Amino acid sequence: MTDPSVFHTGFIAIVGRPNVGKSTLMNRLIGVKVSIVSNKAQTTRHRVSGIHTDEHAQFVFVDTPGFQTRHLNALNRTMNRTVTQSLAEVDLVFFVIEAGRFSDEDAQVLALLPKDAKVILVINKVDALEDKSSLLPFIDANRARYPFAEIVPLSAERGQNVDRLLEVARGYLPEGAPMFDADDITDRSERFLAAEFVREKLFRLLGDELPYGMTVEIERFETEGRLRRINAAVIVDKPGHKGIVIGKGGERLKRISTEARKAMEDLFDAKVYLEVWVKVKSGWADDERALKSLGYD
């Protein structure tokens, strides 16, 4: 049992295939939204750190992109490199899978885990499991796949058993003083988060029309007290994608801008003036120099 009088601090990578709920889990763990969420693959493209501090520990969660096994262009290679780098730099790993399902893609991610890593298997979406009696056999089956330090079933969406995950994880973090202030929630800048919020609304509001070759670049970010002036460019790969993002009469882009602005105001606790437009930059997703200029590590 962990001594509650000893403070623990460490980094935890949240890994898994796309769409298992990694970003939802991190947002739930830190209590505020810093990692964007949608039902589309590749929503998370960057390594995003969220910070949760309580009286006993400071948890620095690293939400990574879902490991990509298809379409290995420069963007996906960069995302995969982000995952492997994260695994090499943390004290603990949360390997997230869906309750009742272990796919070939899950197996591929599991095979990437360092052999000496301390790994907690997080079985997410237990609330969506139709046959609840199948959970225990599913847990037993996964014990044989890897020497997991712990197995914790939960629902990130509903917050079920998330406190238990924190309690278990604390015992695997090294003793030490906190690395961040107690009220810090992320190590990412407001500028970075602004781009992510615009990108999230694109994912949510474009649905199946979402162009694959699309990202967001912040061209202007100015702070004036409790006011933020932000200009964001939606970068698409093909001229035909521009109309998809803008929508009839500009209504779709207007809604994207409005919802992104509201999300920024909630997180930044400030008034936001946001302007969003669309630009064509052909081949950006397979251009290493373009990726670096757009902030991809």
Q: Which residues are annotated as a binding site for GTP?
A: 16-23, 63-67, 124-127
Under 8 Å CB-to-CB from 166, ≥6 apart: which residues?
29, 52, 54, 57, 59
Could you tell me the strand order of the sheet in which 227-236 lies? 214-224, 227-236, 271-280
The conformational region for residue 131 under phi > 0 = left, psi -120 to 50 = alpha, else beta, is beta
3-class DSSP assignment, residue 293: helix
Quick check: 36 and 196 in contact, CB under 8 A? yes
Could you identify the residue written with the tokens 């780098």?
Answer: 85
Under 8 Å CB-to-CB from 83, ≥6 apart: which residues?
15, 64, 65, 67, 112
Pick from 46, 7, 57, 55: which is nearest to 23 by CA? Answer: 46
Instruction: Name the binding residues.
Output: 16-23, 63-67, 124-127
Beta bridge partners of 10: 59
